[in-house]
Structure 1
């Protein structure tokens, strides 16, 4: 059979650059069964295949209206079913991923860029261009554990009540790849001895590794911090600071992190726009950012959205949410500028000096309405 595999997020989202693990496992399974598999890059070509598998992660990824579950067409992923997404069959779930599924697409992207540079008389820097594909080319990707017991209302991971072992590292480790990317929902939620064993296995692999999701810092202790921060970690060690109610416990955990982090970069996802999109939500975001600044940790603003709505986009403070994310989510900027500095810098670059840029306008409007909050937080520094 000819098997068509569609990564809907790749087709429907600009600048999406992360492989769909389900697509890679499906491809691997059907190749092993002797079938031809191909990454489909045009929905108009679906008729060419005996079976088509379409997967998407994000609910707001656009797809054609004609896509419909059938004997020949199979839809899967949180993008279609949110927290009710069906699992892959066990014999597919535990396949070594087909890490070459995206190879031809990457080659095509390189050729297109080469051609464009040649047409414009520019030099093509292939090494720099290929950086955007590093997750496709450099990483073994998988889950050591699945599930989470937190049941956070904003989270898609509602299916399980606990964290449990899922796959041994060897199941998805390609020794030819330089790095490991782990997609675990709440790795630290597994038993202490198990997480210690798995961290040691990652260390013993000799490869750099990272957790794609934010780790649950509420479960940290000295021993885990010592192992984690002495490892060959790839990039920022990332946690999550979703709720202002966790302020005190996270303050305590930040003290432990500081003892061990040495020069490693630590980042926290900061959720905004979930419970409300009012001044209180803005203030709570800045309060969390201030605490992270005190301990030399970077904030990364995550604006809440679910399959049906994006509340912050309807907020009267929409412009402030955008500006807050633009400020925090660029480390080279947030390390050097206060929020006010950032807005003033945007104003200085504004094409029309006689009008306010969107950042300055959002800041001044909020400051006029809530001078106490602005005075308390708009000038804090990393």
Structure 2
């Protein structure tokens, strides 16, 4: 039996650097059946395989047109060659079908990407040598850390929020999904959880204790729901051996007062904590007008006061990207470029960032796109610009 596995995001997204868990589980299952498994990096000669599995996480990842034409996102039906199976939110969004149980609950094949990584390292080293540059192997390999260092899985699944912008609408509650030992590899340094809303699970405490008991650093890749934080959750979470930044979300301006209270609780538990706190800030969902821009800055202002970093997420769904059709398209891009770079947003106000871009602009007498977006909006809404464009992260600490 010849099995072909295609990680469409790996092929279609130049900077994609995260393993596809579905691909790893499918690989492990078929290797256990003594099948010959290949991770394929193109879509050629697929007829030579008994089964071809194509998985896609992101809706905007490009795939060959004949594959896209064979997929009906709304009805989760396909019209493709009999040996080809497609799946994932990138194809079916919220209606993506589940894996067969024997694959879903299989230990992943954490070595599926080994040959690809080896080839990438070899090519980069060859390029460095041909250009007379020193090849810093360890620095280059660091980009593959999720492939090499982490046990990855879902310890819980589901979310009860049913947010209009979110792909996780399949379930209406949070439930235990996989025992930790189902995907935990003792030889790996760290653990990465892909849970949708871990803190919403009734048994969160016991599960968190299990993670802590491994004595391995762990992280929740999708972030955590800060609206569900209690003092007990804060005390356990912020004293655990956590990997990297704690990540939450500030999606709705209507949650402002609630988020404010949770920020106070977070900082009460993290005053001496070395980890930083990051919040996803969703824009372009409820509207793409000046109100949405103001609400974005209002949320960033609150995060700055508690020394939390914003990460601006521009909304898109399977059919549209509203912010791209907005008169403030360039402003959305500029805000994200400023806010999503910690080294810049910690040191520069939004205006200073735009001025720095203007200083590098080569065409004299004209504005760069960043400065033009600022000036145009400021001329239209001076009160909003006056309140937010000069605020600075380092000056707003209030705890």
When normalised by structure 2's length, the TM-score is 0.94
Unaligned runs of 5+ in 2: 71-79, 394-399
Structure-2 separation of matches of 1:98 and 1:353: 55
Q: What's the CA shift string for 1:186-230, capped at 9, x where partnerless? A: 001111xx1111111111101110001121000001111011111
Is contact 2:47–2:83 with CA below 8 Å preserved after alignment?
no
Is contact 1:347–1:353 with CA below 8 Å preserved after alignment?
no
User: 2:377 aligned with 1:345, yes or no?
Assistant: no
Counterpart of 1:208 (choices 190, 212, 217) is: 217
Structure-2 separation of matches of 1:97 and 1:276: 41
- Which position in structure 1 is the counterpart of 2:97? 86
Structure-2 separation of matches of 1:226 and 1:282: 35
- Which position in structure 2 is the counterpart of 1:221? 230
Structure-1 separation of matches of 2:99 and 2:288: 37
SS at match of 1:231: coil
User: 2:268 aligned with 1:259, yes or no?
Assistant: yes
1:119 Cα shift?
1.2
- Which position in structure 1 is the counterpart of 2:42? 42
1:65 Cα shift?
1.7
Matches within 5 A, 1:293-332: 293-332=304-343
Counterpart of 2:258 (choices 227, 234, 249) is: 249
Structure-2 separation of matches of 1:361 and 1:37: 52
Structure-1 separation of matches of 2:121 and 2:386: 49
User: 2:204 aligned with 1:195, yes or no?
Assistant: yes
- Which position in structure 2 is the counterpart of 1:27? 27
Counterpart of 1:362 (choices 373, 385, 398) is: 373
- Which position in structure 1 is the counterpart of 2:15? 15
Matches within 5 A, 1:37-186: 37-67=37-67, 68=70, 69-186=80-197
Structure-1 separation of matches of 2:90 and 2:307: 35
Structure-2 separation of matches of 1:334 and 1:228: 26
Is contact 1:40–1:46 with CA below 8 Å preserved after alignment?
no
Q: What's the CA shift string for 1:15-72, capped at 9, x where partnerless? A: 1111000000000000011111110011113233111000000111110122243431
Is contact 1:220–1:253 with CA below 8 Å preserved after alignment?
yes
- Which position in structure 1 is the counterpart of 2:73? none
Is contact 2:218–2:241 with CA below 8 Å preserved after alignment?
yes
Number of residue pairs aligned between Structure 1 and Structure 2? 380
1:81 Cα shift?
0.4
Is contact 1:186–1:215 with CA below 8 Å preserved after alignment?
yes
1:181 Cα shift?
0.5
Q: What's the CA shift string for 1:117-169, capped at 9, x where partnerless? A: 11111111110101111000010000000000000000000101100100011
SS at match of 1:251: helix
Question: Bigger CA drift: 294-303 or 254-263?
Answer: 254-263
1:288 Cα shift?
0.3
Is contact 1:344–1:360 with CA below 8 Å preserved after alignment?
yes
Counterpart of 1:372 (choices 365, 377, 383) is: 383
SS at match of 1:214: coil
Question: Bigger CA drift: 61-70 or 353-362?
Answer: 61-70
SS at match of 2:386: helix
1:354 Cα shift?
2.3
Is contact 1:240–1:269 with CA below 8 Å preserved after alignment?
yes
Structure-1 separation of matches of 2:237 and 2:161: 22
Is contact 2:281–2:296 with CA below 8 Å preserved after alignment?
yes
RMSD after superposition = 0.8
SS at match of 2:19: coil
Is contact 1:181–1:212 with CA below 8 Å preserved after alignment?
yes
Unaligned runs of 5+ in 1: none
Moved over 4 A (4+): none
